[in-house]
A and B are shown apart, each in its own frame.
Chain A
Amino acid sequence: MQGFDWAVIWYAAPYMLQGAIVTIEISACAMVVATLVGLVFGLLSVSDLKPLRAVIRAYVYFVRGTPTLVQVFLVYFALPKIGFELSAFWSGVAALAFNSAGFISEIVRGGLQSIDSGQTEAALAIGMTNRQATLFILMPQSLRRITPPLTNELISLVKSSSLLSVISITELTRSAQVIIAQTFTPFELYAALAVYYLVIISVLAWFSEYVEKRLA
């Protein structure tokens, strides 16, 4: 390839690796929070608790209906106003988790509802409560069905983390942009950036395949 400046990629590597670590840290924290919150919300949205169900529906409606970038700004500027003084890092985690938990709760709800309702009836008929039926009968069977869409969602979370560059978190994307501003080599560095993301997401995808096989 003509005029491809390999040297700049080596020059940028230490910065970008540092950025990659931040991206991984933020994404990992956000994944944990989003999965836990999404799981709880998903379970609640098949429960008997009608008011909670309505709140969750409204939340999902909002998350689905607004761009992630807008949510990032909203969380970043709204949290201090309601008394949460978080660092940029944790604001980023909060923003990503806020977005992803909505989608994950829908994935969990779909997984639970995909199990034949006859099994729920059979569980109720032996005297289980709705909660027991969900926990002991529906959950274990839906885990395997949930894993592939959950992986998709977590991958999309990692990609969305690049949006956090706008709230001055020096994650992977921003670290590349900083070097680009110095060296004026956007093509080389954006290409390198893509490769960095590919590697991170490949590891994630590989891990999820492993989990899926274990659950099979």
Chain B
Amino acid sequence: MTDLPLLRVTGLSKIFGDVPVLDRVTLTVQTGEIVMIVGPSGAGKSTLLRCINRIETPSEGTVMIGKKNMAGEERNGNLVPDGPIATARKRRHVGMVFQRFNLFGHLSALDNVAIGPRRVLGVAKSEARARAERELARVKMSAHAAKKPSQLSGGQQQRVAIARAMAMQPTLMLFDEPTSALDPELVGEVLEVIRSLAVEGMTMLVVTHEMQFAREVGTRILFMDHGRVIEDTTPEQFFTNPAQARAREFLKRTLRAEG
């Protein structure tokens, strides 16, 4: 492999009505990078993630994952937009974890994880099950495999949601405020799982308000405000000596709140 970046975002915008929630974001992520995205609410952090896997359709700009353009196929220099089936196919290997877990309510923890490999990848039933068991073991949820989401705590649900995404063997994981909906005492177990994925070398983009976690686990920090990336640097640099006044202001507020 040459150093073709895993993710290349160019001039990505999302405009709701006439408000640009995401404003010409450009970003390159190499395999193995752990990018922590921080910033005030309404900065466009979640929208950035959702436009990368096209859960939200960007207003303009391109997203390349490896050699694949997420919007369509290049033909004779023209972009032919993908239909819904092609889009679904491209999403397979971009995992996403949501703030509200979004587990499938009628399925057990095991089936929540197995249904992707089974229905989307067409893996045999026994193989899908075995894969789901491995992924549940990785997030330490084997003991709860038969339980329905309603029988699990928030932290447990989120760990199952991580296993569900990982069962698709993604090349890139997107975490959208994975601990924001959790009771404080449940945050740790979820961060621990994300940290272990980071250690294994998973490439990930994590939107988070956990500054300590961002600093320890991230290899890179993006600070966003008003739909733009205004600081893109190392955790060390960001937390000790941020270049932008807005970032300094943000840090002062959040660190005081955490203190």
Contact = CB atoms under 8 A, between A and B. Distances in A.
In this complex, the member of B89, B102, B105 whose beta carbon has the largest number of chain A beta carbons within 10 angstroms is: B102
Contacts of B100: 118
Interface stretch (B14-22, B112-120, B188-196, B219-227): B112-120
A129 B161 CA distance: 19
A140 B112 CA distance: 14
Contacts of B165: 125-126
Contacts of B70: none
A127 B106 contact: no
A115 B105 CA distance: 9
B120 A122 contact: no
Contact of B102 (A48, A121, A130): A121
B115 A125 contact: no
Interface string A42-63: 0000001000000000000000
B55 A127 contact: no
B110 interface: no
Given A124-B91, A126-B165, A141 B106 contact: yes
A119 B102 contact: yes
B62 interface: no
B88 interface: yes
A125 B84 contact: no
A129 B100 CA distance: 21
Interface in A53-99: none
A122 B102 contact: yes
Interface in B160-195: 161, 164-165, 168
Given A48-B84, A132-B119, A136-B115, A126 B164 contact: yes
A116 B88 contact: no
Majority-rule SS of A interface residues = helix
B203 interface: no
B43 interface: no
Interface string A136-169: 1100110000000000000000000000000000
A124 B88 contact: yes
Contacts of B91: 124-127
B98 to A, nearest CB: 6
B246 interface: no
A21 interface: no
Contact of B161 (A122, A123, A136, A140): A122
A126 B102 contact: no
A32 interface: no
A195 interface: no
Nearest to B116: A126
B84 A127 contact: no
B53 interface: yes
A94 to B, nearest CB: 35
Contact of B116 (A119, A127, A130, A140): A127
B85 interface: yes
Nearest to A120: B102
Nearest to A132: B119
B215 interface: no
Interface in B71-106: 84-85, 88-89, 91-96, 98, 100, 102-106
Contacts of A137: 104, 106
A128 interface: yes
Contacts of A124: 55, 88, 91
B104 A122 contact: yes
B161 A127 contact: no
A123 B89 CA distance: 12
Contacts of A128: 88, 116, 119-120
Contacts of A127: 88-89, 91-93, 116, 120-121, 168
Contacts of A122: 96, 98, 102-104, 161, 164
Given A126-B116, A140-B106, A118 B98 contact: yes
Nearest to B115: A136
16 contacts: A116-B102, A119-B102, A119-B103, A119-B105, A121-B55, A122-B96, A124-B91, A126-B95, A126-B115, A126-B165, A129-B84, A130-B84, A136-B115, A136-B119, A141-B104, A141-B106
| 4 closest Cβ pairs, A-B complex | A127-B92, A122-B102, A118-B102, A125-B96
